Structure 1
Amino acid sequence: MTHTLLEGWSDFGVAAAGATAALAGLLVVAMSVNVAEIMGSKVTVAGARTTIASLVLAIAASLLILPAGQTLGGLGIPALVLAVAASFVQVAAIRTQGHAEAEGMTTGVRAVSIGLAAAEHVPFLVGAVLLVAGVDAGLWWLVVGIVAVVVSSMVNAWVLLIEVRR
């Protein structure tokens, strides 16, 4: 039996897609203003890349909620593919940050950065698996992932706009 999304989720999808798309636009502007400083460090390049990948994941997951009659599995399968792809980008960034002592990144900053990275992708992976299994609680996991991406992206946007100039 296929389960369709509950009524009202499309409103969340519209709001989340708009918010994350606006944030992605602001991040691109921040990166273009400081492109020389960002390109001067493997850590900031990795941070910019993973932030964009996370925002694309959040935007796409939000848009996948929108089609009328969408089934849980119909949302879960592409969400899982996107979450796995974005997680590969995230793991590569974490590996880069693991070698960041030479660039002045302290252990505490690195730990917070890695924690934020995990906090934003794990909910997408859990939610997508639940949705594929037909469990509607997976939608709430996507919500947690989208909120985590917004928070993490705001922090990363600050770093890419302000902190790279210090």
Structure 2
Amino acid sequence: MDETVTTGWGDFAVAMVGAAAALAGLVMVAISVNIREILALPGLTARAAAAVGSLVLVVVTGGLLLVPGQPGAVLGVEVLVAVAPAVVLHTISLRHRARNSASGRFSLALYLPLAALQLLPFALGAVLLIVTSTSTGIYLVAAGVILTVIGSMLDAWVLMVEILR
């Protein structure tokens, strides 16, 4: 059997899909428990949507890494398509934060790099996969997956704990 760009990434993909699915469940519980507070604070629904969208991106990306035998360029296009909705949700969340935050500039100065740190590796890794069709781009995608799980954990904390302060 010929090696493909995803050879050796199966365990990583399965682990990240499991972690992201569990975290998505936690975020959904946090949203349902604190729905009144979330709806009362401007922009928090957009932040919750961005958190869920990011976790869906991790689950979808993990699933794509598990597809056997697909060429690197195809995987790159798939990851690029998968990251687009997450970028849109984070952009909407950024706009709401800028509009509704008392400290809009501070909020943007903090949230924009955090969002970029999560999503940029997906996009760059996807482009690298498309251009080179080698596994090099998967390392960037993997970094995006891990950073997105970390960022989503921070969002889960806000939706569960910080919202009640």
Q: TM-score, normalised by structure 1?
A: 0.91
2: CA distance, partners of 1:8 / 1:142: 14
Report the RMSD for the aligned CA atoms in angstroms: 1.8
2: CA distance, partners of 1:109 / 1:98: 7
Residue 144 of structure 2 aligns with an amino acid whose one-letter code is G
**Paired position in structure 2 for 1:144:** 143
Change (3 A) 1:7 1:36: same
2: CA distance, partners of 1:35 / 1:22: 20
Percent same amino acid at aligned positions?
37
2: CA distance, partners of 1:143 / 1:6: 11
Question: What are the within-5 Å matches in structure 2 for residues 30-109 of structure 1?
Answer: 30-101=30-101, 104-105=102-103, 107-109=105-107
**Paired position in structure 1 for 2:18:** 18
How far does residue 109 in structure 1 lie from its aligned partner after superposition? 4.2
- What's the CA shift string for 1:19-67, capped at 9, x where partnerless? 1111111110111110010011232111101111111111100110002
Aligned residues: 163
How far does residue 106 in structure 1 lie from its aligned partner after superposition? 6.0
Consecutive unaligned residues of structure 1, counting only runs of 5 or more, are none
Residue 24 of structure 2 aligns with an amino acid whose one-letter code is A
How far does residue 15 in structure 1 lie from its aligned partner after superposition? 0.8
Contact preservation (8 Å) 2:24, 2:52: yes
1: CA distance, partners of 2:163 / 2:116: 23
How far does residue 6 in structure 1 lie from its aligned partner after superposition? 4.5
Q: TM-score, normalised by structure 2?
A: 0.91
Consecutive unaligned residues of structure 2, counting only runs of 5 or more, are none
Residue 82 of structure 1 aligns with an amino acid whose one-letter code is A
2: CA distance, partners of 1:117 / 1:42: 19
Among 110, 113, 133, the residue aligned to 1:112: 110
2: CA distance, partners of 1:34 / 1:139: 37
**Paired position in structure 2 for 1:5:** 5
2: CA distance, partners of 1:65 / 1:118: 22
2: CA distance, partners of 1:78 / 1:68: 14
